[in-house]
Amino acid sequence: MSPEAGSALIALAGAIIGSTVVLVGQRQAASQEARRLAHQTRGRVNALAVAVVRDFLACAKVVERLAERREAGEILSGDVIRTATDAMWLKLQEVEVFCPKQIGVSAREFVDAHQFAVWDQPHVPVDTFLAGPRKTLFSVARPFFQESD
């Protein structure tokens, strides 16, 4: 083999090795960037879901307070109750859209319990009546909102 051919083969081998190293580095960088973007997206989606659930719970609290007022003997107009329950139902729809399905299912049961508490007045204290659905909703939602790596 001539010296020029040997030099050409060495140069070709060097180019192949160099290209391979660059390609592997680019793939690793692209993979790291994809993981970073996925993590940021999960964070934004999780933040949105947390905000939606927070707003939902605030509306449910208004309905709960109305149920407690009725329990205490206060007479409330249907319009006042309907305004509060309508807002709660609207927030429930946001939960069902922006949160995992399991949270939406538990939130609907939570709303059904609030509806019964405010309109039909359970035969137990309102806070006792709502404790079960609240505990279920929180136990279902907690794992979704805890930080994970």
pLDDT tens per residue across all 149 residues of the chain: 677 767 777 776 777 777 777 676 777 766 666 566 555 555 565 888 889 999 999 999 999 999 999 999 999 999 999 999 999 999 999 999 999 999 999 999 999 999 999 999 888 999 999 999 999 999 999 888 775 44
Contact (Cβ atoms closer than 8 angstroms) between residue 63 and residue 85: yes
> If you write DSSP's letter for every residue of 49-90 in order, what string do you get?
HHHHHHHHHHHHHHHHHHHHHHHTT----HHHHHHHHHHHHH
Q: Which amino acid is at 10?
A: I
In this structure, what token pair is assigned to residue 92? 């429930």
